[in-house]
Amino acid sequence: MITYLYAPLIISLFFSIGFFFESIFGFGGGLIAYSFLSFFFSIKDMTMAGLYIGTLSSLYIAYGSRKYFEIKIFSKLIPVALLGSVIGVYIFIHFSSKILSTFFGLILFFLAIKMIFFDKYKFSKSLKNLFLFIGAISQGAFGIGGPFVVSAIRDEFKSKSSLRATMAVYFVFCNILRISQMFFANKLEIEFFAQISWTIIPVFVAIFFGYHVHLKIKDEIFKRGVVTIILLASIKFLFSN
């Protein structure tokens, strides 16, 4: 449980930054926020914050871009999402914070290496299926499965708008599974959600501007910035325990 005074402000700031970019690029909001928050909070605190903010933010994005939603792609993701989310939530609930931090750091490091060296690499079908499964587990455990899933199926989307809409629905679906599993395991922290409930307001504002402000930023520059943040966060998680 987060106890210090300015925690909700820090949470709202970094999730607002993260979902501002997610509303533009279609994924990465939680990943960006977690990379910053890792220097302030424990893995379990920031993941629970992400479950609350990520679910509502993805729902907002999904509603705002609903006309671009691709049901065919989403339907293909349901089976792996069901299995991976269950495994991921089990890992989150039953493993210690130290093990989770190491696991999280490894995921971030792997993502950074992939984005640097293999971002435009064409993967085989078996590797794509592996990425989908890793993405579902990562989404279930921490809420950061987007980059893995997008890497596997990016070419199947008709446009960036359809990617954004379909991935937002995917995140909502996975998070509903996570919430349900945590509820039955008696691991949902309602008091914690109440403590940070107002933080969703600036996040919604950030998403709104992400939609309506034409940001003059190249994808390559954005990617380099995200990779730097991810690498620093992965080092922090891997070597601070």
**Cβ within 8 Å of residue 214, ≥6 positions away:** none
Q: What pLDDT is stored for residue 214 in this prediction?
A: 47
**Of the given ranges (4-8, 47-51, 178-182), which has the lowest mean pLDDT?**
4-8
- The widest CA-to-CA distance across the chain, in whole angstroms, is 49
Rounded Cα distance between 219 and 173, Å, is 27
**pTM of the prediction?**
0.81
178 vs 234, which has greater pLDDT? 178
In three state form, how does the secondary structure of 18-83 look? HHHHHHHHCCCHHHHHHHHHCCCCCHHHHHHHHHHHHHHHHHHHHHHCHHHCCHHHHHHHHHHHHH
- Residue 156 region by backbone torsions, left for phi larger than 0, else alpha for psi between -120 and 50, else beta: alpha
Fill in the amino acid letter for 200: I
Name which residue leads in pLDDT, 194 or 219.
194
The residues, any chain, with a CB within 8 Å of residue 236's CB and separated by 6 or more, are 38, 39, 105
What residue type is 22 in one-letter code?
E
Helix (H) or strand (E) holding 84: helix 71-94
Residue 130 — very low, low, confident or very high, per pLDDT cuts 50/70/90?
A: confident
Q: What letter does residue 198 receive in the DSSP assignment?
A: G
Place of tokens 């931090």: 101
Average pLDDT over the chain, rounded to an integer = 83
